Amino acid sequence: MKAVLSWVAAACCLAGPLFATTINDKVTSFELGNGMQVVVIEDHRAPVLQHMVWYKAGSADEPKGASGVAHFLEHLLFKATDKMEAGEFSATVAANGGRDNAFTSYDYTAYFQSVAADRLELMMQMESDRMVNIRLTPENIATERDVIIEERNSRVENNPRALFSEQMNAVQYFNHRYGVPIIGWRHEMETLDLDDALDFYKTYYAPNNAILVVSGDVVPEQVRELAEQYYGAIPANPDLPERVRTQEPPQTAARRVAFKDARVAQPYVSRSYLAPERDSGDQEKAAALTILAEILGGGQTSYLTERLQFDSNVAVYSGAFYSGTSLDDTTFDIIVVPSEGVELEAAESALDQALADFLRDGVDPEQLGRIKMQLRAAQIYARDNVDAIANRYGRALTSGLTVEDEQAWPDLLQTVTEDQIMTAAREVLRPETSVTGWLMRKDDEVTQ
């Protein structure tokens, strides 16, 4: 961040108009005959590329009772296919000087390879193979189920912050699958079987439910030719279900969570508010919330930092977070870590007062200007990373946005006004849509 700020300062002095320049990613998008969307993002500065296949199926698309199956299947796709043995995929990528992995979220599952530009055809050949030819055995299921359960042990069960966050999410969402952990509830993970994995695979792993994103030293014509050869030969799934999610009912009561664990080293207060996501063609409110998070808790000059750390010494850390790239309603989150000797009740009261004062006082125009400049600088730097830019478009497209929406986003952030920010703040920072959590030591007292 220091490097970014230094660059911003230099740019202000030497190249004032720079940040008024539109950020134009060189993007080409087209669709194959079987319904697979292809996005090509050109960057010819280095002979490397990122090859990604994104499936519009994540943990929020899982059937009830089978939580964790999307992530489970992600693991299983590194097993054997009709053409490759288990582990051969990653070994081949490594032998060609690249790296590969995969990840699952609420709205998508994605598989990627970062390789030299002349290895594109090999990556398409292998990735298209496992889109339809996965070969699973009962032994695969038993082994990999143990792996994901151990992953839950290490990432969640052994981490009180993760357990606390899991409880917060479950309370935030009454009816939506975002309240179920991506990795799954342990008791349901333990029952996942071959049929669960194959049912999810056969339903969602199809070209008409996938997006191919290739970024780096490529040209659209080359990508189109190879994509039609390897992915275009795969038939669409005519029975692909419509992507319908259960929606939240009106939230009309503030909720509280008190989570105690003997392993907690630093208690803190966490609060989440139900918040709207970025919608295609209507991203203004999400842009305002993105700026609001930066104003309230985006760094050492943020509003909460000034009030809670520097002015009153109530906290040693405060932050606000919002990511609108989501298919359905997301959350606006705030964390306050109290100073030594400050009770959680006092920290929460100080947070409430700071938010009330902000809603009364409004936005500092100078701070807003700085934040917009920092965002612009960060967005310019992000274009140097073929991995990051492919991820940005993949997340957007699997969350219901379009290429045009994603291209418009950087400039839209620059047009956000003080009035839009305050309107969004008043709509979102409402107690009745909130969950306030205290992460506590085992022997701490709950005073509220």
pLDDT at 16 over 90: no
CB proximity list for 369: less than 8 A, separation 6 or greater? none
What is the pLDDT averaged over residues 306-319?
96
Q: What is the pLDDT of residues 108-127, one digit of tens each?
A: 999 999 999 999 999 999 99
| Burial of 150 from C-beta contacts in 10 A (0-12 / 13-18 / 19+) | exposed
Pairing of strands 434-440, 268-275: antiparallel
- pLDDT score for 385: 87
Give the distance between the most distant pair of CA atoms in the chain: 65
Pick the CATH number of 255-440 from 1.10.10.10, 2.30.30.60, 3.30.830.10, 3.40.50.1860: 3.30.830.10
Please give the distance of CA 293 from its chain centroid, rounded to a whole number: 16
Once rounded to an integer, what is the mean pLDDT over residues 201-211? 98
Q: What is the mean pLDDT of the chain?
A: 93
pLDDT of the residue at 8? 33
269-to-43, 151, 272, 340 alpha-carbon distances in Å: 43, 27, 10, 14
Q: What would the pLDDT profile of 392-403 be if each residue is shown by its tens digit?
A: 999 999 999 999
Judged by phi (left if over 0) then psi (alpha if -120 to 50, else beta), residue 281 lies in: left
Helix axis angle, 88-95 to 120-132, nearest 10°:
170
% of the chain residues with pLDDT over 90: 90
Contact 127, 51 (CB under 8 A): yes
pLDDT reported for residue 198 = 97
- Per-residue pLDDT tens digits for 130-171: 999 999 999 999 999 999 999 999 999 999 999 999 999 999
pLDDT for residue 444: 72
Quick one: pLDDT at residue 442?
Answer: 87
Six-digit token string for 7: 């660059």
**What CA–CA distance (Å, rounded) separates 54 from 41?**
15
% pLDDT > 70, the chain:
94
The correct CATH number of 24-230 out of 3.30.830.10, 3.40.50.150, 3.40.640.10, 3.20.20.70 is 3.30.830.10
pLDDT of 388: 92
Phi and psi for 244 in degrees, rounded to 5?
Answer: -110, 130
Catalytic residue among 74, 127, 277, 294: 74
Q: Is 31 a catalytic residue?
A: no
In the block, residue with structure tokens 């032998």: 95
CATH 3.30.830.10 range(s) for the chain read 24-230, 255-440
State pLDDT tens for residues 250-300: 999 999 999 999 999 999 999 999 999 999 999 999 999 999 999 999 989
Q: What is the DSSP letter of 18?
A: G
Tokens of 170: 């479950």
